[in-house]
């Protein structure tokens, strides 16, 4: 505790809440350790390099081959692609809601965007399969509509509310002095929003991208139905692929627990968790070390 | 201030209670005892193969409609409502869950290996019928008229990716890529197909892996260039939207299947780790009775020979 005048009661409650926070962090560590333990033979026998970089996934061959490079590429491609589609739209929505929207309109738009998070992902996958796949096959004449692009498109819709909500909060947290200064100097609202407020709020906006990436990389049902699930490394955005969550969801049902197939699937799950954690940590690190420009003059 | 502390204490004690309750359920043996104790087991939980699920669900509905309470089925049982839960998850999941007690009966639609049969030697394996996999294409696909009979080698070549376009199969067909649709590569249907046709040749890595038989049928129904192995039940139910091709001149008709000439098939099994208790036995008897056989036939599957 920072204050040496803390009473006994304060110290007690402080320690108590610290304990609860510790339990939550330990839960995360427990999950990681469990997955590591269950998949340990994969790391010792196949080796991390071969597992992560080779391209043959063949659980039915004898001996079975397990390598997830194509799935890693698909996962990152699908998630990055969805951010590519959702970020411009999300940032634009956030700027509109924070600066330009009249209050009644903003009050309607915000809950509507938040409802998008409430729609179950399997519904997104189903709608994508029923409507978008057919659209790509019939109108554009593709032989089969599933592709990473389609999965990215639907994922973009799913992560849009995260980007909008967090970016809008970041924009709103810029102190009001900047807006008054702009009014006093006669600067147009557009110039203010794009050249002053967005750079000041960029920490929060980039942070929202990290959250969106985590959601997009881990999304299972939608990509299971839309990405095509083929075992090749995708060469273009329009190719089919099999992101890691789809791989696990597809094959875990038929893998016997304790078998090498099961261990490989758990190892793939561990890799997925670690990737999302690393991206989050890197982004948070960048955001903390970058100078906090909003407080530069205070 | 006092009110806030009071609310805080209530919330924290709720949190503690839920943590403790969560921790105390790790003894799965105690759990299994609870589920399998004969007099307390009122619900029957069945799960596993997505092929068998509609059959069992329909029979469960009919059974519950007809009898409503257990004492009407067998007067020695008490008057409790009949509750049967049916869920999916795949044959592998069905077997695993039958072994660990999550389900009372596991639904499995594949031929069992010896090690798998070993795990159930204290229980029962009941065959409810057979399912046959048809090689299905979209009725708008010209192959249905131009070349409705494929040899086993041609099917193997298509599914392994050696023949990539319809034109390569037969010059009269359009030059469009063949969209090969398969089930997930570790699953029951995939093993059956591998044993009967592929015989170890790996499936093309361009093939779309589809999570369930229903979705596979839907894909072939929607896409003119698609070919896939679809459960005969689904083909029979959607005769106008799916066309089955002959394999080596043998069509997947009931006679060819019961005589054994059409070979791409798998048994539909119910598996239980321990001997069936009274209620489960009654339900299984219903499934094997004429009423159960009618449901199996109506849905397009093959009941076992009498």
**Paired strand residues for B47:** B87, B106
Asked if B301 is an interface residue toward chain A (Cβ–Cβ < 8 A), one would say: no
Contact assignment for B186 to A261 by CB distance below 8 Å: yes
Q: At what angle do helices B278-288 and B53-67 cross, to 10 degrees?
A: 110
pLDDT of residue B29: 45
Q: What is the mean pLDDT of residues A94-121?
A: 91
Contact list in B for residue A251 (CB cut-off 8 A) is 184-186
Is the separation of the CB atoms in B205 and A231 below 8 Å? Answer: yes
A92 in a structural domain: yes
Asked if B92's CB is within 8 angstroms of A253's CB, the reply is yes
Residues of A numbered 236-255 whose beta carbons fall under 8 angstroms of chain B's beta carbons: which are they? 240, 242, 249-251, 253-255
For residue A101, tell me if it sits in a domain: yes
Select from A58, A60, A224 the Cβ nearest to the Cβ of B211: A224
Cα B68 to Cα B62: distance, rounded to the nearest angstrom: 10
For the record, the structure tokens of B53 come out as: 């699920």
Residue B230 main-chain phi, psi, to 5 deg = -115, 140
pLDDT at B167 over 60: yes
* Mean pLDDT, residues A185-213 taken together: 89
Instruction: Report if residue A166 sits inside a domain.
Output: yes
- ipTM given for this complex: 0.74
pLDDT over 60 at A157, yes or no: yes
Check residue A298 and give its pLDDT. 38
Cβ-count burial of A237 within 10 angstroms (0-12 exposed, 13-18 middle, 19+ buried)? Answer: middle
Mutate to test the interface with B, among A20, A132, A144 (most CBs of B within 10 A): A144
Task: Look at the pTM and tell me if it is higher than 0.95.
Answer: no
| Residue A149 forms part of a structural domain | yes
Chain B touched by A134 (CB under 8 Å): yes
Q: What is the pLDDT of residues A224-243, one digit of tens each?
A: 989 888 888 888 888 888 99
CATH code (residue A240): 1.10.3720.10
**What is the predicted pLDDT for the residue at A152?**
94
pLDDT above 90 covers a percentage of chain A that reads 44
Token digits for A204? 């929060």
Share of chain B above pLDDT 90, in %: 8
Tell me the three state secondary structure of residue B44. strand
Q: Within a domain: residue A55?
A: no
Alpha-carbon distance B195 to B190, whole Å?
9
Q: Left, alpha or beta for A205 (phi > 0: left; psi -120 to 50: alpha)?
A: alpha
Q: Is there a contact between B143 and B245 (Cβ–Cβ < 8 Å)?
A: yes
Minimal CA separation from A86 to chain B, in Å: 27
Domain holding A103, by residue range, is: 69-297
Tell me how many domains chain A contains: 1
Give B23-40 pLDDT, tens digit per residue.
Answer: 665 544 444 444 444 444
* Cβ contact A208:A170 at 8 Å: yes
Is the pLDDT confidence value at B190 over 80? yes
Min Cα–Cα distance to chain A from B297, Å: 27
- Looking at the complex, does the CB of residue B174 fall below 8 Å from at least one CB of chain A? no
Kindly identify which residue of chain B lies nearest to residue A62, measuring between CA atoms: B200
Q: Is residue A58 part of a domain?
A: no
């Amino acid at each position: 505790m920072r204050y040496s005048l803390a009473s006994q009661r304060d110290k007690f409650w402080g320690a108590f809440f610290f304990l609860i926070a510790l339990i939550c962090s330990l839960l995360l560590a427990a999950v990681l350790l469990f997955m590591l333990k269950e998949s340990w033979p994969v790391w010792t026998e196949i080796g991390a390099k071969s597992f992560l970089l080779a391209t043959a996934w063949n659980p039915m061959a004898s001996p079975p081959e397990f390598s997830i490079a194509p799935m890693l590429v698909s996962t990152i491609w699908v998630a990055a692609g969805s951010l590519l589609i959702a970020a411009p739209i999300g940032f634009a929505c956030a700027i509109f809601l924070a600066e330009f929207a009249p209050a009644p309109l903003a009050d309607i738009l915000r809950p509507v965007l938040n409802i998008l998070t409430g729609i179950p992902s399997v519904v997104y996958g189903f709608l994508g399969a029923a409507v978008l796949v057919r659209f790509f096959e019939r109108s554009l004449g593709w032989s089969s509509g599933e592709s990473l692009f389609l999965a990215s498109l639907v994922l973009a819709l799913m992560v849009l509310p995260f980007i909008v909500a967090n970016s809008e909060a970041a924009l709103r947290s810029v102190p009001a002095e900047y807006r008054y200064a702009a009014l006093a100097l006669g600067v147009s609202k557009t110039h203010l929003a794009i050249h002053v407020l967005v750079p000041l709020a960029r920490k929060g906006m980039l942070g929202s991208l990290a959250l969106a990436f985590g959601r997009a990389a881990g999304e299972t049902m939608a990509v299971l139905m839309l990405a095509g699930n083929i075992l090749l490394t995708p060469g273009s955005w329009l190719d089919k692929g099999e992101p890691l969550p789809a791989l696990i969801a597809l094959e875990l049902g038929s893998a016997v627990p304790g078998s090498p197939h099961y261990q490989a699937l758990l190892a793939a799950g561990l890799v997925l968790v670690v990737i999302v954690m690393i991206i989050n940590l890197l982004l948070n690190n960048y955001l903390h070390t970058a100078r906090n420009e909003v407080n530069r003059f205070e | 201030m006092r009110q806030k502390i009071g609310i805080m204490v209530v919330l924290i004690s709720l949190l503690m209670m839920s943590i403790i309750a969560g921790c105390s359920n790790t003894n799965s043996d105690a759990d299994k005892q609870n589920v399998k104790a004969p007099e307390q087991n009122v619900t029957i939980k069945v799960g596993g193969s997505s092929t068998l699920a509609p059959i069992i669900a329909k029979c469960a509905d009919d059974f519950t409609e007809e009898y409503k309470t257990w004492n009407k089925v067998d007067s020695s049982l008490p008057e409790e409502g009949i509750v049967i839960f049916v869920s999916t998850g795949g044959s592998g999941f069905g077997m695993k869950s039958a072994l660990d007690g999550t389900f009372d009966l596991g639904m499995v639609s594949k031929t069992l290996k010896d090690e798998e049969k070993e795990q159930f030697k204290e229980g029962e394996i009941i065959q409810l019928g057979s399912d046959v996999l048809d090689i299905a294409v979209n009725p708008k696909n010209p192959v249905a008229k131009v070349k409705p009979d494929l040899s086993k080698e041609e099917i193997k070549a298509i599914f392994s990716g050696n023949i990539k376009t319809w034109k390569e199969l037969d010059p009269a067909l359009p030059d469009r890529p063949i969209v090969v649709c398969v089930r997930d590569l570790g699953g029951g249907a995939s093993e059956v197909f591998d044993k009967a046709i592929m015989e170890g040749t790996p499936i093309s890595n361009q093939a779309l892996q589809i999570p369930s038989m229903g979705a596979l049928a839907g894909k072939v129904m929607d896409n003119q260039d698609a070919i896939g192995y679809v459960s005969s039940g689904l083909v029979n139910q959607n005769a106008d939207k799916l066309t089955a091709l002959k394999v080596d001149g043998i069509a997947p008709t009931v006679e060819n299947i019961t005589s054994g000439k059409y070979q791409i098939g798998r048994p539909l099994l119910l598996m239980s780790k321990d001997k069936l208790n009274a209620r489960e036995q009654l339900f299984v008897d219903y499934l094997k009775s004429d009423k159960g056989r009618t449901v199996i036939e109506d849905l397009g599957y093959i009941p076992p020979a009498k």
